[in-house]
Every structure is written in structure tokens, then in C-alpha cells.
Structure 1
Amino acid sequence: MPDDNAQATPAEPKKAKSISYADAGVDITSGDRAKQRIKMLARKTFNKQVLSEIGGFGGLFALDLAKYPEPVLVSSADGVGTKLKVAFELGIHHTVGADLVNHCVNDIAVQGATPLFFLDYLATGRLENDVVETVVRGISEACRANGCALIGGETAQMPGFYADGEYDLAGTIIGAVNRPNIITGEGIEAGDVLLGLPSNGLHTNGYSLARKLLFEVAKYGPEHYVNELKDKAGAALMRTHRSYLSVIKKLTAQPEMVRGMAHITGGGITENLPRILPKGLDAVIDLSAWTPPPLFEHLQHLGNVDRDEMFRTFNMGIGLIAVIPAEQVKKAKAILNRANERHCIIGRIVTRGTRKVVYN
């Protein structure tokens, strides 16, 4: 007779499928392949001061104390911002690396520093090796052009955080200057002249507004040819952020030539020039001194944007301002002419006491 109280033997539980990091969206093998390509690109920027290989926990760089007997390290970190959205739409990834490096180089060069080394950070949802290699190649080439070494960085896979085909890009630069050669603007005086150097378009600032005006208000596509710009909308927005390092070096090689410099980035002339003004001084800008390029005029027209808003958002065609003593202006202009560098006098420093920019 069967025993009614007997317990049935439980079935063996099915083994769960083994789940890997790749199943969660992070492909370590693909990441390793990307890192090998990055190493090759980074090595092209190395010099004798670089003491480490790509892949260590930190990059090693030996400062040349013969060149910098009174060294002061100067650092800056920045990103490319929503200009990347245009890059995604156009599939253009080779210029954003140069945008990033040149922006950071300018930020320290205006303080008299020479770039030493650079670190990049690229984060994406799904790793596309060809895209990563293209971006890093742009970074590597810009580092070489600016004489700095790409000694490390981070490539992060963050599935679920970034949409497929998108990434974020940021960088940190370290430079050096001898203490007596630091340029802070503290020596700026009333009567000094403002010398403006042209930008190459929007550079890397104001893209949220520019994209809204071009793509939402005007309803252009990135490939739409705009007569007012004599270019396609996307191409006009993708012009590379230029480096001013070489021309800055030429100006600062002359004693007492430059009292201050401002890199005109986010905040435009309105917010960047006051960063170097001593107390008690204003900068008066002569709006008749130059004509903003067609891109800026078209953007203003599309959105009926107030003039002050334009100058607080965009560089308006001026990417760098050097503050020059009046007696040095003739010599400064000669230096710039020899370098085939376009420039114009856009204003002066006056005594008013508010540390503001005044537009006339």
C-alpha cells in the first residue's frame, strides 16, 4: 500500500543563465580593443617628460625645472557642450577633440602658461570603437599641434545613461609658467587698449540657443544650405574652436607687451572680460570696430534676440581679447601683422569703478 504521508522528492531547480557584464551593456573586450587604439594615438604626443604608458592608474610627467626655475602649474577643465548634438546628427567626430583641447589650451595660455599635458574623459552608452578612435585621434592631433602630451584619460561605458550613438566629452589640461611671467590682469590701467582677435564661429559656446534658433525656429536641417551663411547650417556650427597659443606666445615674448588676456567663451565678452579687470576699471567696447560674422547676425535675426543677450551668450566674432598698454599698440599690431593674424582695436579701459563691460 502506498504511504499517503510520503513526501514527493522536489525537482532539481533549473540553473539560471549565467549573466555577464556584456549582457548588462558593458563590453569589456571591446573596451580593451579601444584602449589599444587609444594608446597608439596617445604615444604620438609623448615627449621625454612623459614617464608612463597609457593604462596605468595615473600619468607621470617630469617637469623641466631648467625651463621653469620658478614653476607655477596652471590647470583648466572643460567640455564641448551641446555642440556634440550637432556632431551626432552629422556623424562628424574628428573635430570635437580639437574643440576640446584648443578650448582648454586657450584658458591657460591667457594666463601666460604653456600646456604640458592633457587628460580626456569620454563616456558613452554603447562603445563604438571607430567613433572613439576618431574622437581621440582629434584630441591627439590637437595635443601635438599645441605641444602637449596626451598622457591618460578615461573611456567609460554607461549603458542606460546615454542614448545609443551619443557620448560626452571633457578634458583637463595642466600647463606651467614661471612665477614672474604670470599674466593676471592686475597691472591693467585706464587708457590701455583692447585688441580683439577673431573667432572661428561659435567655438564651443552658445549651442543650446543656436540649435534652437536654427533647427526649431528656422526649421533648418543640419544639411540645409543657408544663403545668409553661405554654408550648410550644420557645417557653420561645426567650425573648430581655434587655438590662440602661437599668437599669444608671440605677444608675450615681448616684455611689458600684454597686461591681461581674456578667452571669450561662455558668457561672451560681457562676462569674460571683467574676470581680468582690477577694481575701479571698466572696459568700453566700440561696437563699430568690427562686424560680427553672418552666423551671429542671422541667429539674432531668427530669434529677435536682444543685443545684450547676444553678447552675453556668443563670442560675436571675437575669440580673444588682449589688453595692451597704449604705447605698445603699434608694436603689437606689427607682431600680429607678421604672423598674418587678423585683429582690430575694439575698445579701451576706463576709470568708472564697476568692473563691467560697457558697449558704445
Structure 2
Amino acid sequence: MTEKNAYQQAGVDIKAGEQAVELMKDAVADTYTPNVLDGIGGFGAAYALGSNYKNPVLVSGADGVGTKLLLAIAADKHNTIGQDLVAMVANDILAQGAKPAFILDYLAVDKMRPEVVAEIVTGVAKAAKASGMALIGGESAELPGLYAKNHYDLAAFAVGVAEREQLLDPNNVAVGDVLIGLPSSGIHSNGYSLVRQVLGITTSERFKDLPIAMQETLLTPTKLYAQAVWPLVEQGFVQSMAHITGGGLTENLPRAYAKTLSAKINWGSWPILPIFNELQAAGDLSLEDMLLTFNNGLGMVLVVKSEDTQKVISQLSQTNQAAYIIGEMVNGQESGVVFEGDAPW
């Protein structure tokens, strides 16, 4: 029997970490663009901006996945949680008017299981590539004693690039501008502590007791918007934009325009996915709770000039991106977002 070294006896398996790197390296390398100067294994990752920019600005973001991780762990399904991670940072960067450029991930585990780690990071890599980003580095750490059995945490840091004059400015939004909502794929990655509470998901077993369709719905990954939306930003069609995450429409949308304005949104102008009605009924949640916790079917909202509305919708349709005219900008009222029509709850 091979004798373990001291570090392995303490619970850290360096060989397993090396095996995980070997399993994931092809998926990571597949995200590389000519801008990536150093590959996997260096002490730092180098990314060349190139000479095409006149006055480049770097836009950065860092985020995690939240307690949605507990559901992925319960299901032992780790191939889509990486997309949730990428989407959280890539969509934020996009909302500033920058093109996502590169991403680094951090994965901390209780025990290094090479196949699981490779599955998670491969999911990150595929989503990064779909968002036009290179996965140029990261860290996988085995931390025995810190995490419960089979548990892990996942975080990312990403950077986008834009010409300074290209950055979206909330002050450019004016009365009469149109709000175009892009549908979410589901709950995305916010509100899962409330989801677990109202559905009674207190253990892994309780999650597995849910109908398979519900399990799949709860694990549906966050939608990536960069591929469809960046060309619109590049062409100057977008005045401002809001990524609808924690805080919902009521807290995220006002970040996209000046305080002297309000967004008037029409109920019924976009489809509210069934999962949100199920959550509302299960928890007897108020309209305010729904608005402050969930995206309720809208993952991104674009603010465009009225004369550009049809061009934007047409161009989005060419990339198979659904879009809905959900309202318009008006003079500031009692709050940053006002709703008209019959509320669904």
C-alpha cells in the first residue's frame, strides 16, 4: 500500500487536483482568443487589449451563484451551474455597455473529486465561450473542514472592455424612450433562499422528492445575453440597460436612468413564467415580495429611442432572442418604476 504524504493525510489530495486540471484543460483552452497570452498553469493570466481601442475602459464584475448551489449539489448535477456563474458577471458587464473579454473562476470544495470539478469548470468554460469571454485563469481549492460533505462554492471575476464614449450613460435616457424586455430563462440565480423556504426544500432529500420537471425548472441556468445584445450596443442603439437580478425590476431598473425619470411598465406586456406563479401561490407572497425578489420573467431590460425600437426588435429576432415592448420612460413620479394595468398577484 502506498503511504500517503502529510498533506494528503491532512485531507488535501494534490494528485486529484492535477487530475481535475487535466480533465478540464481542453474546455478551458477552447475559450482562448488571440488576446490570451498565457495559458493554464502560469502564476498569472495575461490578456492583450490590442491596438484597436482609442480610449479603452475596463469594466469589471465579481459574483457568485448563491444558494442555487445547494440544489445543484442535491441533484448531483453540476454541468449547468457554471453558466449561472458566467451569466451573473457577463450580463452585468454588458449592462454597462462593455464587451465581456475574460473571466477567472474560483472553486472551493470539501474534497477534490476530479470528475465533478471538471464538470463544473467545463460548464463555466462553455458559457464563457458563448459570451465571447476567455476563461484565462482561476483557482480550485480543496478545503477540508470548511465545507460540508460534497459541498462547494463558486465565484467569478470578469472584465469587459469598451471605448470610453461607448459606455452606457443613464443620463442619456429621456422621456419617451422605450423599454424593451428580454425574457429570462427562469429564476436565474437570485431568490433561492426564498425559493427553498416556500417549497420546503430543507434537505437534499426534499429536493429529490419534487417532481422531476420542477427540479429541472429550478436548475435551469441563467440566460446569457451578450451574443444577442452586444451588437446593438456597438451600433449605438441602446441608451441604457438593466440586468434584472436580486431586487427585481423595482431596484435594478432605476440604476439605468436619472432620478428625475420613472419607468412606466405595463402588466401583461411580457409572459410571466409559470414557476413564478407557483412560487407566489406556495408562499402566499405579496406583489412587493415578488417584485423585490424575482425577475418574474424579464432578465434584461434595454432602453432605446422610440425611433429605433423596431430596428432593435428586428435585429434581436435574427439572433432568436425574444423581446417585448414593456413600457416607456416618463417624468419622475412617486417611484423609479411605476406599473399600469392589472397586476398578476
Pairwise same-fold verdict (TM > 0.5):
yes
2:51 maps to 65
- Is the 8 Å Cα contact of residues 222 and 232 (structure 1) preserved in structure 2? no
2:343 maps to none
User: Residues of 1 paired with 2:258 and 2:290: CA distance?
Assistant: 25
Match of 1:341, SS state, is coil
- Is the 8 Å Cα contact of residues 130 and 227 (structure 2) preserved in structure 1? no
| Residue 289, structure 1, aligned to residue 274, structure 2 | no
2:288 maps to 308
Match of residue 243, structure 1, among 201, 224, 229:
224
| Residue 332, structure 1, aligned to residue 312, structure 2 | yes
1:174 maps to 159
1:145 maps to 130
User: Residues of 2 paired with 1:19 and 1:29: CA distance?
Assistant: 11
Structure 2: gaps spanning 5 or more residues: 341-345
> How far 1:350 sits from its partner (Å)?
1.3
1:48 maps to 34
> How far 1:40 sits from its partner (Å)?
3.3
> How far 1:64 sits from its partner (Å)?
1.4
Match of 2:96, SS state, is coil
User: Residues of 2 paired with 1:253 and 1:75: CA distance?
Assistant: 18
> How far 1:211 sits from its partner (Å)?
1.4
2:183 maps to 198
| Residue 274, structure 1, aligned to residue 254, structure 2 | yes
- Is the 8 Å Cα contact of residues 23 and 115 (structure 2) preserved in structure 1? no
Match of residue 78, structure 2, among 93, 97, 111:
93
Of residues 280-289 and 258-267 in structure 1, the stretch that sits farther from structure 2 once superposed is: 280-289
User: Residues of 2 paired with 1:276 and 1:36: CA distance?
Assistant: 43
User: Residues of 2 paired with 1:130 and 1:18: CA distance?
Assistant: 22
User: Residues of 1 paired with 2:152 and 2:123: CA distance?
Assistant: 15
Match of residue 112, structure 1, among 91, 97, 106:
97
Match of 1:197, SS state, is strand
Q: Counterpart of 1:41 in structure 2: which amino acid?
A: A
| Residue 258, structure 1, aligned to residue 238, structure 2 | yes
1:21 maps to 7
Match of 1:51, SS state, is coil
Match of 1:284, SS state, is strand
> How far 1:339 sits from its partner (Å)?
3.0
Q: Counterpart of 2:37 in structure 1: which amino acid?
A: L
Match of residue 214, structure 2, among 211, 233, 247:
233
> How far 1:291 sits from its partner (Å)?
3.4
1:186 maps to 171
Q: Counterpart of 2:279 in structure 1: which amino acid?
A: L
Q: Counterpart of 1:341 in structure 2: which amino acid?
A: Q
Q: Counterpart of 1:98 in structure 2: which amino acid?
A: Q
Deviations, residues 155-207 of structure 1 (Å, cap 9, x unaligned): 11111110111100010111101111111322001111111010000111111
> How far 1:359 sits from its partner (Å)?
2.1
Q: Percent identity?
A: 42
1:9 maps to none
User: Residues of 2 paired with 1:185 and 1:173: CA distance?
Assistant: 22
Match of 1:232, SS state, is helix
Match of 2:302, SS state, is strand
Q: Counterpart of 2:310 in structure 1: which amino acid?
A: K
TM-score for both structures, normalised by structure 2: 0.92
- Is the 8 Å Cα contact of residues 284 and 358 (structure 1) preserved in structure 2? yes
| Residue 121, structure 1, aligned to residue 106, structure 2 | yes
Deviations, residues 15-58 of structure 1 (Å, cap 9, x unaligned): xx997122221112222222333333322212221111212221
User: Residues of 2 paired with 1:143 and 1:337: CA distance?
Assistant: 22
Match of 2:245, SS state, is coil
- Is the 8 Å Cα contact of residues 98 and 241 (structure 1) preserved in structure 2? yes
Equivalenced residues, count: 336
- Is the 8 Å Cα contact of residues 85 and 155 (structure 2) preserved in structure 1? yes
Larger Rg: 1
- Is the 8 Å Cα contact of residues 21 and 118 (structure 2) preserved in structure 1? no
- Is the 8 Å Cα contact of residues 118 and 151 (structure 1) preserved in structure 2? yes
User: Residues of 2 paired with 1:98 and 1:18: CA distance?
Assistant: 36
> How far 1:216 sits from its partner (Å)?
4.5
Deviations, residues 240-260 of structure 1 (Å, cap 9, x unaligned): 1111112212322433x2110
User: Residues of 2 paired with 1:271 and 1:333: CA distance?
Assistant: 25
User: Residues of 2 paired with 1:133 and 1:111: CA distance?
Assistant: 31
**1:193–1:222 CA distance, 2 compared to 1 (3 A):** farther
Of residues 245-254 and 305-314 in structure 1, the stretch that sits farther from structure 2 once superposed is: 245-254
1:3 maps to none
User: Residues of 2 paired with 1:242 and 1:95: CA distance?
Assistant: 11
